[in-house]
Amino acid sequence: MKNLVLIAPYCLQPNHSWFSPGRTQKILQVEALLVSLGYSLIRINTSPAPYHAGNFSTIQLSRSFVPLLRLFHSIYRIFCFAVHFSRSQPISAIWVYNSKFQDFILVLILLLFFPHSKLFLQIEDLPYARTYNAGFRGFLDSLTLLLYSSIIHKVFAVSTVVSEELVRISPFKPASIVIFPPSLPADYISILQHRSRPFSKQYISILYAGDYTPEKGVDILLSAFTSLPPSEYVLKLAGPIPDNIRETYSRYPNIRLLYHLGTSQLYYEYSCTDILVCPHLIDSMSTRIFPFKLIEYAASGSLLFTTRMPGINVLDLPEFCFFESQSDLTAKLLSSRLIWNEYSDSIFIHSRELRQRFNYLSIQHSLHPSFL
């Protein structure tokens, strides 16, 4: 059995500030892939949230929310781990989730003790892509990308667009990059096989599930929704709903605040909703991300309305799925039953094709040769 150290922010607590359902799902997929390749995993948890799930050893680096204090704790803990582990077993590989400056320091310490380890870098979000990795932090993470380029064995990028952007902003060569898209879990696919048929109720249900930072564009969805006939439409909001939305919209009888949902609950909501909306704003940094939920949305069999996120062409969505503005979204929602009546058969066929393309086993088999 080969030992692999996996450095990532683990957090399973929905109410924790470090929680991200998309990231959690992707890390679990990474673990399953690595186990299928014969690796024994040692988790290095870079988040302050305690994590004890699964059968693998987990090293909690720090419980502090103060960045500098967390960095000092992390350096000390990783050094102690490396000293102890180097006396007993080798480390075959190191896997790092995203190019964080503080994580690069941990990688350097590990490489001092295990210089022959292969280094794998997983890119989900490039520097400056989101609010939390912009500014000076984005500068440090960009510098980290440059440093990684000279020592990395293989890079796994979430999409072709992110891969192309990585090549543009760093010395990484296309030959060193492998596309590792999100995959659809088997339990989600099983739920969708028995889903209720959309637009079979008197009212039309709309769902948004995700974060509520400004770039997510939720304000556009809310403005569009409140202009619809209230007796005909219901909006469901899931995720870390901020206080201002809760205070403003909790009085609306046709807006249901679901807050944090467990994975199975979220999949169920996908399967019994008529329309899924992704109102993510497009800017110069949109090429540096690819929203995980877009694959889940498109594979659901529900009617999908989304902005034209870079890289979305991989989903081969029909033109009626896209909207350009709030007024455009309003018009799409008002005519959604007509759109469904005309295109429902093709939507179901397309969703089944996506479930086949993005199921876990298909993606796992396509990635195995990258480790040879």
* pLDDT tens-digit map of 15-48: 788 888 888 888 989 999 999 999 999 999 999 9
84 lies in the same domain as 170:
yes
Tens digits of residue pLDDT in 317-358 = 999 999 999 999 999 999 999 999 999 999 999 999 999 999
Mean pLDDT over 45-62 rounds to 88
Q: What is the pLDDT of residues 231-242, one digit of tens each?
A: 999 999 999 999
Coil/strand/helix, residue 239: coil
From the centroid of its chain, how far is CA 170?
22
Average pLDDT value for residue range 198-218: 93
Q: Are 39 and 4 in contact (CB under 8 A)?
A: yes
Q: Do residues 229 and 351 both lie within one domain? A: yes
Last residue of a domain, one of 153, 180, 207: 180
Q: Which run of H or of E encompasses 22?
A: helix 21-36
Q: What is the percentage of the chain residues whose pLDDT exceeds 70?
A: 99
**What dihedral do alpha carbons 144, 285, 23, 25 form, nearest 10°?**
-130
Question: Exposure pattern of 20-55 as b/e (b: 16+ CB <10 Å)?
Answer: bbbbbbbbbbbbebbeebebebbbbbbbbbebeeee
In a domain? residue 242 = yes
pLDDT tier for residue 135 given thresholds of 50, 70 and 90: confident
In a domain, 362, yes or no: no
Query: For residue 124, what is the domain's CATH number?
Result: 3.40.50.2000
Is 14 in a helix, a strand, or coil? coil
Backbone φ and ψ for 175, nearest 5 degrees, come out as -65, -20
Split into its structural domains, the chain has a count of 2
Structural domain including 109 reads 2-180
Domain membership flag for residue 243: yes
Q: Are residues 141 and 164 in the same domain?
A: yes
Instruction: Clarify whether residues 123 and 239 are in a common domain.
Output: no
Residue at 153 is within a domain: yes
Any domain includes 123: yes
Task: Please determine, for residue 59, whether its predicted confidence score (pLDDT) is greater than 70.
Answer: yes
Q: 88 with 191, same domain? A: no
What φ, ψ does residue 125 adopt, rounded to 5°? -130, 130
Average pLDDT over residues 109-114: 96
* Same domain for 314 and 219: yes
Q: Are residues 64 and 202 in the same domain?
A: no
- Separation CA 161–CA 286 (nearest Å): 9
The predicted-structure confidence for 272-319, as pLDDT tens digits, reads as follows 999 999 999 987 777 777 777 899 999 999 999 999 988 888 899 999
Give the per-residue pLDDT at 372.
Answer: 66
Both 175 and 210 in a single domain? no
pLDDT at 25: 85
247 and 294 inside one domain: yes
Do 197 and 167 fall into the same domain?
no
Decide if 7 contacts 44 (C-beta within 8 A).
yes
Confirm whether 12 is domain-assigned.
yes
Confidence band for 267, pLDDT divided at 50, 70 and 90: very high
In a domain, 368, yes or no: no
Asked whether residue 320 is domain-assigned, the answer is: yes
What percent of the chain is modeled with pLDDT above 90?
Answer: 69
Mean pLDDT of the chain: 92
Which of 122, 154, 180 is the last residue in one of the domains?
180
Of 162, 180, 198, at which residue does a domain stop?
180
d(CA 96, CA 105): 12
> What DSSP string runs through 103-118?
HHHHHHHHHHH-TT-E
Q: Are residues 211 and 156 in the same domain?
A: no
pTM above 0.75, yes or no: yes
User: Residue 90 has which token pair?
Assistant: 């080798």
Residues 284 and 173 placed together within one structural domain of the fold: no
